[in-house]
Amino acid sequence: MIFILAQEAPTALEKFFNATYSGLALGAIYALLALGLVLIYKATQILNFAHGALAAMGAYFAAYFAVTLNFPGRYISGAPETLQWVLSALVAVLLAAAVGWVVERLAIRPMIGEPLFAVVLITIALDIIIRAITDDFIGNNPRPLGTPWGSDVVQLGPGLIAKAEIATIVVAILCLLGIAWFFRTRIGVAMRATAFDQEAAMAQGISAGQIFSLAWMIGAGLAAIAGIFSSVFPRSVGVSAATAFFAFRALPAVVIGGLDSIIGAVAGGFIIGLAEVYTGAYLNFSFLGTGFAGIMPYIVMMAVLLVRPYGLFGTEEVRRV
């Protein structure tokens, strides 16, 4: 992780604002990842450990279309650069969603309702497979995504913010609004019904299978968006083998918010993002070693779980004897 902006600020106020912007951008990425995880969990009762692998894969697709293939530049060379990049990123996200659908049909559908062990291990196995293949395609060096805004930084209030970070936050808010809108549509209501009571939903003529597929497609798509933004300028130089591990830090976000709460996922994402960046900016004592900011999410998670074992917004499980 690179937090150039937070480290180099001259005054305390600027440093605080830089860190806050950076934290909000990071939180937005975590919120996107957490949102996908919660959607999948609510629909299928499966926590997707392969989320990081899907994110890395999505980012690789984006790098492939935008840089290696120069996909839009070939066909619509007259269009503005930003539009071209957005188009190739969109194709990458759709492809990732397609992979999510394939994964759900092949590996997840037979496992619905199986015991916890099997369900945990199957997504870990998927993670291993997708990660190995993605790593092979990525190769040894990070692949840049060729974003149109590069490493540009703009002044916003007292602090500095990278253009890529603005894009991250804007896209995340758009995605959140999109999901909120989606839940009001006919299919969205069907998904909520299935998550609430699968049998009752099926009795009303909702196809639970289609809902599972849809949830995995949306989840994988969101993971890809998060993957793309986690491998651009302030965070890293490109998509690499480390991108997949990044998503493991979204797990605390989900747990803090509560596994079955959409609002919780978003709140948890921003809490984790800000906690991580503030830790990186203010708690850089030598005895803490390197990478302490990276484990801050887990420490926050354990503290929250000690107080609330089902997360801040999660529903407490009611169990029969």
Partner 1 sequence: MRGRPLLYTKYASEMALVPTWTKRIFLGLFLALLILIPLQVIPGLGFLGDSDWMRILSEVLIFAVGALGLHILSGLTGQVSLGHAFFMGVGAYTAAVLGGEVGKATIGLGLPMWIWLPAAGIVAALIGALVAPTAVRVRGIYLAIVTVGLVFIGEWMWRSLPDVTGGSQSGRKFPGLELRVWKEPEPLISFDTDGPWFGIEFSGEAKTYFFLLVVVIVLAVVTKNIQRTRTGRSFMAIRDRDVAAEVMGVPEAKSKAISFALSSFYAGVAGALLGAFVSRLIPESFGLFLSVQFLAILLVGGLGTITGTLLGSVFVITLPRFVQDFTSLLSDTAESGSGFMSSVANIFVSTGQGDVGLVSTAAGNSPGLNVSQLNLVLYGVLLIVFLIFEPLGLYGIWIRIRNYWKGWPFTY
Site residues (CB under 8 A) for partner 1, limited to 105-124:
107, 110-111, 114-118, 120-122, 124
Position 321 contacts partner 1 (CB under 8 A)? yes
Position 101 contacts partner 1 (CB under 8 A)? no
Nearer to partner 1, 125 or 154 (CB): 125
* CA–CA distance, 54 with 221 (Å, rounded to integer): 9
Please identify which residue in 87, 90, 112, 135 interacts with partner 1, judged by CB under 8 A: 135
Radius of gyration of the chain (CA): 20
Position 170 contacts partner 1 (CB under 8 A)? no
Position 259 contacts partner 1 (CB under 8 A)? yes
The region, left, alpha or beta by phi > 0 then psi within -120 to 50, assigned to residue 265 is: alpha
* CA–CA distance, 98 with 92 (Å, rounded to integer): 10
Nearer to partner 1, 115 or 205 (CB): 115
Least distance (Å) between residue 44 CB and partner 1: 12
Task: Write the interaction track for partner 1 spanning residues 11-50; mark x where CB under 8 A is met and - where it is not.
Answer: ------------------------------------x---
* CA–CA distance, 171 with 191 (Å, rounded to integer): 23
* CA–CA distance, 106 with 270 (Å, rounded to integer): 33
Position 139 contacts partner 1 (CB under 8 A)? yes
Amino acid present at 129: I
How many CB atoms sit inside 10 A of residue 321's CB? 2
Position 288 contacts partner 1 (CB under 8 A)? yes
Position 310 contacts partner 1 (CB under 8 A)? yes
* String of DSSP letters for 153-208: EEEETTEEEEHHHHHHHHHHHHHHHHHHHHTTSHHHHHHHHHHH-HHHHHHTT--H
**Positions in the binding site for partner 1 (CB under 8 A):** 47, 107, 110-111, 114-118, 120-122, 124-129, 131-133, 135-136, 139-140, 248, 251-252, 254-255, 259, 287-292, 294-295, 297-299, 301-302, 305-306, 309-310, 317, 319-321
